[in-house]
């Protein structure tokens, strides 16, 4: 009896196994047609029909679908500056950037950008010289990886622009002026080079009628206390009441492509940034309004306010205090030709003021920029004529500069 029961149980088990195997052989091709995903094969074969247990194709994604997503570009900004004080006349290469970007998939992308070492007058080793001795060596500007975690949430890691304000997220090639606002830097924040720092940021957006863009990141920041490495926290929120601004970055003018009414707020902090007990805290508020008119012209108004607190540290480069700028511009509807070029004129005026607790002698305090821009292909090609009236600290003589600048970006 025991032998019979044992034989019966073994027979039932064999039938069950055989039936299961038959069912799997019969249904796997159909399920494979419905659910197979070559990209996911090998990651979890137990839940992915049509995949072989030894399929390792997920380790080497098929680049055919993304071969056109690798982009190479470059941007050049060059200028001539005539300074009344000192009677200097200088030609300058403000930026010479190489842009590399690509996508492994719709969820993973990366970018690598370089610039000349002395871009926009930034000096290496305090003397304007690069390691090759001539100041023109290339250095890393951006190098970051972007992971799209969810439809509206991404994380970026590497070296890139912290989301400190609209001007920083626009950069010199996408602001609505030729020269970067000095109050953004002099009342601004720490950076490695050209506003960049090493860190990681979680960012995203939400909302239909009103878009909320947000980001929270941690960066290296200052590191002045041995054995106490505190990170720099940067958090930003932007409300867009008209058109949306997608992606992490933004522009300070869209030349009429968008209707913009945006308000942004940023807060940042780092403990012991300038020494034990000497924290760094700053916040800024920025505003952008841009509307294309029925006539075809475009009006733009932009403003920003910056407040920085270094706990009265003398290591803060005299930047503790406040500053702001206000800018207004109008892009004419009708184009005009200059030789073989055709573009639209855009007059603008920008006022900046910096009120620091301990300004250094010669630091800019008040500045007015009167600009006439010739917009050929938006940010891709433009020419600017700028007159600057500058008041400096320490009783030094006021400055007047005339700048002619050209920008091309591919």
Assess whether pLDDT exceeds 70 at residue 229: yes
Per DSSP, the three-state class of 40 is: coil
Terminal-residue alpha carbon distance, the chain: 87
* Structure confidence at residue 175 as a pLDDT band (50, 70, 90): very high
Identify the residue with better confidence: 301 or 7. 301
Stretch 235-251: mean pLDDT, rounded?
Answer: 96
Range with the poorest average pLDDT among 2-16, 43-57, 298-312, 327-341: 2-16
Identify the burial level of 329 via C-beta atoms within 10 angstroms of its C-beta, where 0-12 means exposed, 13-18 middle and 19 or more buried: buried
The confidence score (pLDDT) of residue 52 equals 64
Q: Please report where in the chains the tokens 């940021």 appear, as a residue.
A: 201
Assess whether pLDDT exceeds 60 at residue 404: yes
| C-beta separation of 162 from 199 below 8 A | yes
Assess whether pLDDT exceeds 80 at residue 187: no
Assess whether pLDDT exceeds 90 at residue 85: no
| Alpha helix segments (H runs only) across 221-348 | none
**All structural domains of the chain with their residue ranges:** 22-56, 73-409
* Structure confidence at residue 298 as a pLDDT band (50, 70, 90): very high
The confidence score (pLDDT) of residue 8 equals 44
> CA of 23: how far to CAs of 45, 46, 50, in Å?
18, 16, 14
Q: Please report where in the chains the tokens 């626009």 appear, as a residue.
A: 170
pLDDT tens digits, one per residue of 358-388? 877 778 889 999 999 999 999 999 999 999 9
Six token digits for residue 287: 């505003």
The confidence score (pLDDT) of residue 128 equals 41
For 334, other C-beta atoms within 10 Å of its C-beta total 9
Stretch 22-32: mean pLDDT, rounded?
Answer: 41
The confidence score (pLDDT) of residue 35 equals 42
The confidence score (pLDDT) of residue 278 equals 84
Task: Kindly write down the DSSP assignment for every residue of 148-203, as one continuous string.
Answer: EEETTEEEEEEEE---S-HHHHH-TTTSSSSSPPHHHHHTS---SBTTBEEEEEEE
Assess whether pLDDT exceeds 70 at residue 244: yes
The confidence score (pLDDT) of residue 119 equals 82
The confidence score (pLDDT) of residue 161 equals 94
The confidence score (pLDDT) of residue 277 equals 82
The confidence score (pLDDT) of residue 357 equals 85
pTM as predicted: 0.81
pLDDT tens digits, one per residue of 324-354? 999 999 999 988 999 999 899 999 999 999 9
At 10, which helix (H) or strand (E)?
A: helix 2-35
Six token digits for residue 280: 């760094």
The confidence score (pLDDT) of residue 55 equals 63
* Structure confidence at residue 290 as a pLDDT band (50, 70, 90): very high
Q: Please report where in the chains the tokens 């970067």 appear, as a residue.
A: 180
Six token digits for residue 165: 């304000």
* Structure confidence at residue 32 as a pLDDT band (50, 70, 90): very low
Identify the residue with better confidence: 23 or 196. 196
Assess whether pLDDT exceeds 70 at residue 43: no
Q: For the chain, what percent of residues have pLDDT higher than 70?
A: 76
Closest CA to 404 of 92, 171, 85: 92
**CATH C-level class of 73-409:** mainly beta
Stretch 27-49: mean pLDDT, rounded?
Answer: 45
């Amino acid at each position: 009896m025991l032998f019979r029961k044992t034989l019966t149980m073994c027979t039932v088990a064999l039938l069950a196994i055989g039936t299961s195997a038959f069912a799997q052989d019969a249904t796997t091709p159909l399920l494979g047609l419905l659910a197979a995903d070559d990209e996911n094969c090998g990651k979890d074969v137990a839940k992915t029909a049509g995949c072989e247990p030894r399929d390792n194709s997920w380790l080497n994604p098929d680049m055919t679908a993304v071969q056109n997503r690798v982009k190479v570009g470059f941007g050049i900004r060059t200028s001539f500056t005539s300074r009344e004080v000192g009677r200097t006349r200088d030609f300058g290469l403000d930026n010479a950037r190489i842009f590399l970007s690509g996508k492994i998939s719709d969820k993973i992308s990366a970018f690598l950008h370089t610039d000349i070492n002395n871009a926009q007058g930034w000096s290496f080793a305090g003397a304007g010289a690069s390691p090759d001795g001539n100041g023109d060596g290339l250095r890393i500007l951006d190098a970051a990886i972007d992971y799209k975690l969810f439809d509206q949430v991404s994380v970026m890691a590497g070296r890139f622009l912290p989301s400190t304000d609209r001007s920083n997220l626009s950069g010199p090639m996408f602001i609505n002026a030729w020269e970067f606002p000095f109050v953004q830097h002099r009342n601004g924040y720490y950076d490695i080079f050209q506003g960049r720092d090493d860190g990681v940021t979680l960012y995203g957006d939400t909302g239909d009628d009103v878009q909320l863009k947000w980001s929270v990141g941690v960066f290296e920041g200052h590191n002045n206390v041995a054995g106490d490495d505190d990170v720099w926290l940067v958090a930003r929120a932007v409300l867009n009441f008209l058109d949306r601004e997608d992606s992490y970055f933004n522009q300070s003018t869209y030349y009429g492509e968008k209707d913009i009414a945006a308000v942004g707020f940023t807060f940042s902090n780092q403990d012991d940034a300038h020494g034990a007990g000497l924290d760094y805290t700053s916040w800024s508020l920025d505003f952008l309004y841009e509307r294309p008119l029925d006539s075809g012209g475009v009006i733009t108004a932009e403003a920003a306010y910056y407040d920085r607190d270094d706990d009265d540290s003398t290591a803060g480069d005299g930047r503790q205090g406040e500053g702001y700028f206000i800018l207004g511009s109008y892009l004419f509807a009708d184009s005009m030709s200059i030789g073989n070029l055709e573009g639209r004129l855009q007059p603008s005026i920008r006022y900046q003021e910096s009120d620091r607790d301990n300004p250094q002698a010669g630091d800019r305090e008040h500045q007015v920029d009167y600009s006439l821009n010739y917009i050929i292909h938006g940010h891709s090609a433009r020419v600017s004529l700028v007159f600057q009236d500058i008041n400096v600290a320490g009783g030094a003589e006021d400055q007047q500069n005339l700048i002619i600048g050209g920008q091309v970006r591919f």
